[in-house]
Amino acid sequence: MAAVVEVVARRRRYRMGLMLVFLGLFMGNALAVDRSNFKTCDESSFCKRQRSLRPGLSPYRALLDSLQLGPDGLTVQLVHEVTKVVLVLELQGLQKNMTRFRLDELQPLHPRYRVSDVLVADPAPARLSVSGRDDNSVELTVAEGPYKIILTAKPFRLDLLEGRSLLLSVNARGLLEFEHQRHRRVPFSDKVSLTLGSMWDKIKNIFSRQGARDPAEVDGAQPEAAAGDGDKPEEPTEREEPGAWEETFKTHSDSKPYGPTSVGLDFSLPGMEHVYGIPEHADSLRLKVTEGGEPYRLYNLDVFQYELDNPMALYGSVPVLLAHSPHRDLGIFWLNAAETWVDISSNTAGKTLFGKMLDYLQGSGETPQTDVRWMSESGIIDVFLLLGPSVFDVFRQYTSLTGTQALPPLFSLGYHQSRWNYRDEADVLQVDQGFDDHNFPCDVIWLDIEHADGKRYFTWDPSRFPQPHSMLQHLASKRRKLVAIVDPHIKVDSGYRVHEELRNQGLYVKTRDGSDYEGWCWPGSAGYPDFINPATRAWWASMFSFDNYEGSAPNLFIWNDMNEPSVFNGPEVTMLKDAQHYGGWEHRDVHNIYGFYVHMATAEGLIQRSGGVERPFVLSRAFFAGSQRFGAVWTGDNTAEWDHLKISIPMCLSMGLVGLSFCGADVGGFFKNPDPELLVRWYQMGAFQPFFRAHAHLDTVRREPWLLPAQHQEVIREALGQRYSLLPYWYTLFYRAHIEGVPVMRPLWVQYPQDVTTFSIDDQFLLGDALLVHPVSDAGAHGVQVYLPGSGEVWYNIQSYQKHHGPQTLYLPVTLSSIPVFQRGGTVVPRWMRVRRSSDCMKDDPITLFVALSPQGMAQGELFLDDGHSFNYQTRQEFLLRRFSFSQNTLVSSSADLRGHFETPVWIERVVIMGAEKPATVVLQVPGSPESHLSFQHNTETSTLVVRKPGVSVASDWSIQLR
Ligand SMILES: *[C@@H]1O[C@H](CO)[C@@H](O)[C@H](O)[C@H]1NC(C)=O
């Protein structure tokens, strides 16, 4: 009843057309998240059940007699000593130092969901062979790797070793818990208390369900005799914990036709004290121990005004955890798309450094160890162990499974101007003109939900955007783009073609009784396309063709918001778990991958509309493992507060660690109004984060850069200038991420794995291996403490060229005008030195190379160039990958990939060498031409040499010698 009242009240508000009132209600009484809208582990019945299991001897035993070894790996049965339920373990050695294992029921009553479309290919197996055996264990050797796996039968566990050192153990704490599917048995006394209504519901349910799964959950139904399972005993005492067969949260009830189906397992990591990953959480980069608190939760949710420094779920989920020690890195990829919780414990947690030292001195300390426990509501256990040994190996291993970051079109690395909402075409054109009038570069203007006709996506509001095509053409003439929002909630309206087609073709998510699921969202009552269905995705992709999406043009790109999916009147603001998807799967099984599929289908649509030629740009709020293949993500609806500015660093770093390099946070903060100082600091931060977009809530004051006081405008102009100037470096970093799977924005520990000081740094980061950024994120800051890592390393301040030695903590005074950024000695960074209206206006500009010499007088760097927008770099090898290396007083330019060729007018305009002595002469050598002398200038105070106009094409081989 309460739910109904709520909906009716909302409907009325909506009818008054006052979305503001609706939002105001939320905003008025909450300055931060209303936690009671979201479950704690105790309120999520499976999490509570899993977590109530304590470490101890595992009741599972491997039946070694059942062990079978084939070319693809090993299978063995595990039996639960009490319930006698049998599981099957499939264990594979994989190439590149990976191992995969899967656990499923031998005879499930219904098939369990296995995630598809996340892996880019079937991973190549490496042969496993038995290298030792006794009564209770089998030792397996993985071909092509230094690893052994020991499978212990009773109690069941797996140990992975390299030589004699133990890397990781599975089920060492006995927390494997696999809730097998069962028939519901209701004790007589409970039966009596079943209401007629709920009985009728169940009966209806049974007769109406279709799909792959059978409706065997009828009360008191006879269990079918499971074939070949003659000795299956009577099921022991039914789990009768509340929530096992149905669950309510607030006013929402979740019928659980398949009963309890959760899975859980523990991993022990000896020698590991630092773990990272499992985004998305608004929390520190280094994961915290969760004992005594809430586990980290992975469940894609639209969390209104999220709170910082806690493990609550947010919009996206990547179930990948990285463990780091000075000697080794490992990854655990838990491939499950259901609601998941992760517990982290450590045997050194809470011990002071002094305590640890005492242990060490007395020889009494245990080896440090971290234990990680994963718990998911349904599906199977499917785990990839990524065995490193270095973190770069882990990056390559993970992205070999799930794909690398899509190579962004160059424009999307520029600056994006968004707000909810630019009112109409005139407003868009004025904002566009504002950038030119005030001399700020900008590549993209964004339109939020108000641009569409009554939130009917793929349409335009006829009075405010009557001529989208000419607006897009105008932007194209300025070499700018437009991004429009297309959300996956579709207004239920028989006059709306998108809705009609989805409904008629049966492509919507269904309720458990088979009718189209409807939820409440921006347009009012809305249907949700079933993106799990390949036919829905194909249909959705076709909607982006220029014919189907009226008013669209090649410079229109797309933003997928609300794709967790957000359902205003649903449990935890999302979809009912018992909603039905294609293939008979419940929403419970696929929740965390829904947004991934929306993103996938949209990116595919943009590729198709150009006949496969143009690279897409799609921003998504929800994500899963593999989403990096489809475009960019951002940290959702943040707030204009200093702490939100700070948290953008660990949030984007965490995403980068698990493949999602194209990450950003709303510059300025989405909710509330930033003061000019905060806004300026945010631009300075955003200019050095991968996805750089200013965005703001409908209720905020306008904040285009030229609306600020003049002195603040100047600082923002400077920050934008730095961004545009470094675009060749950004683009090259993204090419590396795309080719190799290495993150663009990196925590310091990734480059300095043995320097423990770096392991918990949240307030600075690296871009590639060349630039170190320490943003300013405190009001009224007069200085910052910058940690410059690396013994034997030198760092040059990119503005003053002043040189500093690592490792050291440096106090640097700061003014409002800039943030500290350093270039590492030993690197070459390419830049464009003239900032123009947009990246497209700059792409043929000459390059200046910034060479920062190491103490040994060496440096290396590279530059990737192509047309900036098509797949021709891939399909026709139309690209340049140039390597620049400096040693023995000579800078050499050569091709780093001879397959690539690309016609370009880009030439080298200048070379700035930091850390150079003054030469007598500077000579340019180009094969086949006579030597020529170049003019130069040397600054003795900063040891900086500026070599003028080499004038050579970027595509050619040359060298510059300092004599
Ligand atoms: C696999 O591990 C070995 C030893 O730890 C290492 O030398 C090798 O580079 C790794 N290979 C890959 C592909 O990660």
d(CA 765, CA 746): 6
Given a contact cutoff of 8 angstroms between Cβ atoms, the answer to whether 405 and 432 are in contact is no
User: What pLDDT, on the 0 to 100 scale, is given for residue 319?
Assistant: 99
Q: What is the 156 CA–ligand 1 centroid distance (Å)?
A: 28
- Domains in the chain, please, with CATH? 42-180+258-305+327-383 (2.60.40.1760), 411-487+533-574+583-725 (3.20.20.80), 756-962 (2.60.40.1180)
Region 886-890: mean pLDDT is 98
Q: Would you say the CB of residue 392 lies under 6 angstroms from ligand 1? A: no
Q: Which two tokens stand for residue 877?
A: 């090898």
Give nearest CA residue, ligand 1 atom 11. Answer: 96
Contact 564, 521 (CB under 8 A): no
Measure the CA–CA gap between 172 and 190, rounded to whole angstroms.
38
Whether 715 shows a pLDDT value over 60: the answer reads: yes
Atom in ligand 1 nearest the alpha carbon of residue 146: 4
3-state secondary structure of 557: strand
Would you give the DSSP letter of residue 106?
A: S
What residue spans of 659-705 are helical by DSSP H? 676-686
Which atom of ligand 1 is least distant from the CA of 96? 13
Cα separation, 328 vs 660, in Å, equals 22
Instruction: Tell me, in angstroms, the distance from the centre of ligand 1 to residue 121's CA.
Output: 21
**Ligand 1 proximity of 393 Cβ (cutoff 6 Å):** yes
Measured by CA distance, the residue closest to atom 13 of ligand 1 is: 96
Measure 395 CA to ligand 1 centroid, in angstroms.
Answer: 13
pLDDT at 296: 98
**CA pair distance 307, 281, nearest whole angstrom:** 10
487, 637, 666, 840: which one is catalytic? 637
DSSP 913: E
The mean pLDDT value of the chain amounts to 91
Q: How far is the CA of 130 from the centre of ligand 1 (A)?
A: 21
Band of pLDDT at residue 18, cut at 50, 70 and 90: very low
User: Does 827 contact ligand 1 (Cβ within 6 A)?
Assistant: no
Those residues whose C-beta lies under 8 Å from the C-beta of residue 112, and which sit 6 or more positions away, are 104, 105, 181, 261, 378, 379, 380, 589
pLDDT-derived band at 32 (thresholds 50, 70, 90) equals: confident
Task: Round to whole Å and give the CA distance between 839 and 850.
Answer: 20
By alpha-carbon position, which residue is closest to atom 1 of ligand 1?
A: 97
- Say if CB 513 and CB 205 are below 8 A apart: yes
Closest-CA residue, ligand 1 atom 6, reads 389
Instruction: Please tell me the residue having the least CA distance from ligand 1 atom 7.
Output: 389
Q: Check if 389 has its Cβ closer than 6 Å to any atom of ligand 1.
A: yes
- For the CA of 390, the closest atom of ligand 1 is 14
Active site residue 493: no
Helix, strand and coil content of the chain, in percent to the nearest 5, comes to 25, 30, 45
Is pLDDT at 212 greater than 50 in this prediction? no
Q: What value does the mean pLDDT take over residues 285-305?
A: 97
Residue with tokens 């946070």: 665
Q: Compute the distance from residue 371 Cα to the ligand 1 centre, in Å.
A: 24
Q: Which residues contact 617 (CB under 8 A, 6 or more apart)?
A: 408, 409, 411, 412, 481, 483, 557, 558, 606, 631, 632
Q: Is 97 in the pocket of ligand 1 (CB under 6 A)?
A: yes
CA-to-CA dists, residue 497 to 168, 231, 538, angstroms: 54, 57, 16
- Give every CB contact of residue 362 below 8 A, 6+ residues apart in sequence: none
Distance (angstroms) between ligand 1 centre and the Cα of 168 equals 16
Q: What is the pLDDT of residue 242?
A: 81
Q: What is the mean pLDDT of residues 570-589?
A: 98
Residue 267's Cα: distance from chain center in Å?
A: 23
Note the pLDDT tens digit of each residue in 43-88.
Answer: 999 999 999 999 999 999 999 999 999 999 999 999 999 999 999 9
Label residue 725 by pLDDT band (50, 70, 90): very high
Output the CA torsion 730→733→734→739 (10° steps).
Answer: 160
Query: Do the beta carbons of residue 862 and residue 882 sit within 8 Å?
Result: yes
Q: Are 785 and 811 in contact (CB under 8 A)?
A: yes
For ligand 1, the distance from its centroid to the CA atom of residue 118, given in whole angstroms, is 24
pLDDT of residue 874: 98
Closest CA to 564 of 634, 622, 510, 635: 622
Atom of ligand 1 nearest to the CA of 388: 14
- CA separation for the pair 828, 731 (Å, rounded): 14
Q: Which atom of ligand 1 is nearest to the CA of 97?
A: 1
In 3D space, the residue among 542, 530, 531 whose CA is nearest the CA of residue 497 turns out to be 542
**CA-396 nearest atom, ligand 1:** 14
Contact 787, 819 (CB under 8 A): no
Residue 60 near residue 87 (C-beta atoms within 8 A) = yes
* Chain Cα centroid distance, residue 155: 36
Residue 146 near ligand 1, beta carbon < 6 Å: yes
Q: Rounded to an integer, what distance in angstroms lies between the CA atom of residue 855 and that of residue 396?
A: 30
* Lowest-confidence region among 225-234, 631-640, 659-668: 225-234
Task: Mention every residue, 6+ apart, whose C-beta is less than 8 A from residue 363.
Answer: none
Catalytic residue among 302, 382, 530, 561: 561
pLDDT digits (tens, 9 = 90+) for 98-130: 999 999 999 999 999 999 999 999 999 999 999
166 pLDDT more than 70: yes
What is the CA(131)–ligand 1 centre distance, in A?
21
Lowest mean pLDDT among 239-253, 625-639, 821-835, 857-871: 239-253
Distance, in Å, from the CA atom of 136 to the CA atom of 378, rounded to the nearest integer, reads 30
The residue contributing the CA closest to ligand 1 atom 12 is 96
Mutate to test the pocket of ligand 1, among 165, 393, 396 (most ligand atoms within 8 A of CB): 393
- What pLDDT shows up at residue 820? 98
Q: Can you tell me the distance from the alpha carbon of 662 to that of 899, in angstroms, rounded to the nearest whole number?
A: 27
C-alpha of residue 574 to centroid of ligand 1, in Å = 42
Task: Indicate if ligand 1 lies below 6 Å from the C-beta of 469.
Answer: no
Pairing of β 415-417 and β 165-170: unpaired
Looking at per-residue pLDDT, the higher value among 186 and 899 belongs to: 899
- β-bridge mates for residue 255, sequence order: 246
Question: At residue 227, does pLDDT exceed 50?
Answer: no
CA 933, 935, 941 angle in degrees (round to 5)? 130
Predicted pLDDT of residue 353:
56
Q: How far is the CA of 396 from the centre of ligand 1 (A)?
A: 11
**Strand pairing class (60-70; 73-80):** antiparallel
Q: What does the pLDDT read at residue 192?
A: 44
Gap between the Cα atoms of 724 and 198, Å rounded: 62
> What's phi and psi for 655, nearest 5 deg?
-70, -40
Percent of the chain with pLDDT over 90: 87
With a 6 A CB cut-off, is 329 part of the ligand 1 pocket? no
Residue 201 among the catalytic residues: no
CA of 35 relative to ligand 1 center, distance in Å: 45
Q: Is pLDDT of 473 > 90?
A: yes
Please choose, from the candidates 710, 705, 678, the residue with its C-alpha nearest in 3D space to the C-alpha of residue 694: 705
- Reduced to 3 states (helix: H, G, I; strand: E, B; else coil), residue 181 is coil
CB of 242 within 6 A of ligand 1: the answer is: no
The 3-class SS string of 612-645 reads CCECCCEEECCCCCCHHHCCEEECCCCECCHHHH
Answer yes or no: is the C-beta of 346 below 6 A from any ligand 1 atom.
no
Question: Which residues touch 619 (CB under 8 Å, ≥6 apart)?
Answer: 483, 558, 559, 560, 631, 632, 633, 634, 691, 693
Q: How far apart are CA 671 and CA 673, in angstroms?
A: 7
For residue 397, give the ligand 1 atom closest to its CA: 14
Q: Is the pLDDT of residue 191 over 50?
A: no
Higher pLDDT, 693 or 187: 693
Task: Give the pLDDT confidence score for residue 241 in this predicted structure.
Answer: 74
The lowest-confidence range among 161-175, 204-218, 330-344, 905-919 is: 204-218
96 lines ligand 1 (CB under 6 A): yes
What is the Å distance from ligand 1's center to 97 Cα? 6
Share of the chain above pLDDT 70, in %: 89
Distance 101 CA to ligand 1 centre (A): 20
Residue 583 beta carbon below 6 angstroms from any ligand 1 atom: no
Pocket test for ligand 1, best of 97, 161, 329, 394 (most atoms within 8 A of CB): 97
Determine the residue type at 919: P
Q: Is the peptide bond preceding residue 421 cis, with omega within 30 degrees of 0? A: yes
Contact criterion met (CB below 8 Å) for 708 and 674:
no
d(Cα 801, Cα 809) in Å, to the nearest integer? 18
